[in-house]
Structure formats: C-alpha cells, structure tokens
Structure 1
Amino acid sequence: MTDDKLILILKSCVIIGICLIMLGVYFHNFSDMIEAMGVRGIMVSAMCVAFGMALSLPTKMYLTFILVKRETE
C-alpha cells in the first residue's frame, strides 16, 4: 500500500471518528428518543463517543508519524 493511499485511509478514519463523537454528543444532549430509552440510550450515546475516540486518537498519532517521516525524506 502506498503512503498516499494509507494517508487517505487514516484521514477518513479520523473524520469518521470525529463524526461519531459529535453524534454521541448530539444523542446525549438533544435526542428525545435516546432519553426515552433510558439506560440503553445512555449506553448507545456512550458507545458512539467511545468508538469515535478509538478511531480518531490513535489514527492521529500514526498519521503524524507518517507525515513526519515523509517530511524528513
């Protein structure tokens, strides 16, 4: 896999992660359906935030390492 393709995949993972975090915050703060679900609704919004963080944070670090390595070459 080329570096350009890997960077594109990593950037899309970061964007998807950030979108999941924002979706979880929206569910938690503004969605009446999630509020009506009770504890299960809280679990749904928390899982959105957790998966979003799992996608975005390590991907940002790896993307930074790739870009720094590319810059030095």
Structure 2
Amino acid sequence: MSQTMIIRLLKTSIVLGLCLIVTGHTLLVSNYFTVEHGIKGIIIAAACIAVGVLLSLPTKIYLTVLLMEAEKRYLKNHKSTHSK
C-alpha cells in the first residue's frame, strides 16, 4: 500500500472517529435518548465515544510522526542548498 493511500485511510479514520465522538456526546446530552433507553442508552453513547477516541488518537500520532520526518528531510535539504 502506498504512503498516499495510508495517509488517506488515516485521515478517514480521524474523521470517522471525530464523528463518533460528536455522536456519542450528542446522545448523552439529548434528554430524550437517555430517558427512552435508560442505562443502555448511556452505555451506547459511551461506546460511541470510546470507539471514536480509539479511531482518532493513534492516527493523529502516526500522522504527526510522518510530518516530523518530512520536516527533517526538508530542513536537511534546505541546509545543504544554502551551504553551497
């Protein structure tokens, strides 16, 4: 799998994770959902938030590492061209 495809997959994972976090929060805040479903509704909303966090955090770390490596390469190339 190419690096571009991996980055696209990770960005999709971040967006999906954030959507699940917002959905879980909305379910917890909405009075109708918690009253209608009781403790099971709270568990469903908490599960949405947990899965959203699991999807979004590791991908952010991986993308940060990729950006740091790209910055190192850029600075290395930038210094070598200015020193000539």
TM-score, normalised relative to structure 1: 0.90
Deviations 1:14-62 (A, max 9, x none): 0000000000000000251343111100000000000000000111001
- Work out the percentage of aligned pairs sharing the same amino acid: 37
Aligned Cα root-mean-square deviation (Å):
1.3
Which residue is equivalent to 1:30?
30
Which residue is equivalent to 1:15?
15
**CA 1:31–1:20: 2 relative to 1, 3 Å:** farther
State the 4+ residue runs in structure 1 displaced beyond 6 angstroms.
none
What is the aligned residue count? 73
The 5-angstrom pairing of residues 1-73 of structure 1 reads 1-30=1-30, 32-73=32-73
Of 25-34 and 52-61, more deviation after overlay is shown by: 25-34
Larger Rg: 2
